[in-house]
Amino acid sequence: MTNMQGKTVLITGASRGIGAACVRVFAEAGANVALVARDHEAIAELTSELGNKAMAIPCDVSRYWEVQKAVDACMQAFGGLDVLINNAGILKPISHLSTVDPDDWAHVIDVNLKGVFNGMRAALPAMIENGGGTILTIGSGASEKPYEGWSAYCASKAGALMLTKSVDVEARAKGIRAISLSPGTVATQMQRDIKVSEMNPVSQLNWEDHIPADWPAKALLWMCGPGADPYLGGQVSLRDEAIQKMAGLV
């Protein structure tokens, strides 16, 4: 396990699923953890389990000023920011382009793409000033392959991957490590929503086909260490058995 003692990690979408798993995995590794999400009650409850090494920050990642305030609050409480995990994301609406509600479609972009940009933009100046940091983003195979009914999700994940590549080009020399993680299908509420939609082959998967949420969390912890340096500026796939082995999952 990568030792995160004395490090500070800010996790968006920390109220459930992969985000909540990240909170527990990084706290166990010794990190100070800032939990960012819209669900104040959920992150407050989770924070109460972890004591003074965790703080809950209600925030809508689609609004830049809220994200900036969250980063500022984290740095004031813990004295710095070493790792940003851009985890907050939504999938719905699951709908064809010809019938989807334009506002609903745009909301996915606001959360999944603008939300990632907002996190990067808020964290980068402080990280660069302090000599570096790690920015990890939850990506998807949908960043490279279209799926029926997921046009907003696919477009947003493709854009988020390009943001990771852009950060790497602009800031690797300034100490910034930027990597995307494509976790595959994970046993979270998102997969329940996909199942109900009965659209595209992913909805036909059985629940036991999905990996547990702590797998991507543990992979993200590994990605904070030098073993993941060959993947800087790119996307790591958790479907890759070699990656699973390096991350200590198998």
| Other Cβ atoms within 10 Å of 193 Cβ, number | 14
241 in Cβ contact with 215 (< 8 Å): no
Give, in degrees to the nearest 5, the angle at Cα 212 between 43 and 22: 35
Nearest to 232 by CA among 182, 184, 172, 183: 172
* Measured distance CA(250)–CA(238) in Å, rounded: 11
Looking at the DSSP assignment, which residues form a beta bridge with residue 180?
A: 137, 235
CA distances (Å), origin 225, targets 83, 133, 207 = 11, 11, 31
User: Is 76 buried (19+), middle (13-18) or exposed (0-12) by CB count in 10 A?
Assistant: exposed
**Active-site residue set:** 153
Nearest to 143 by CA among 112, 188, 103: 112
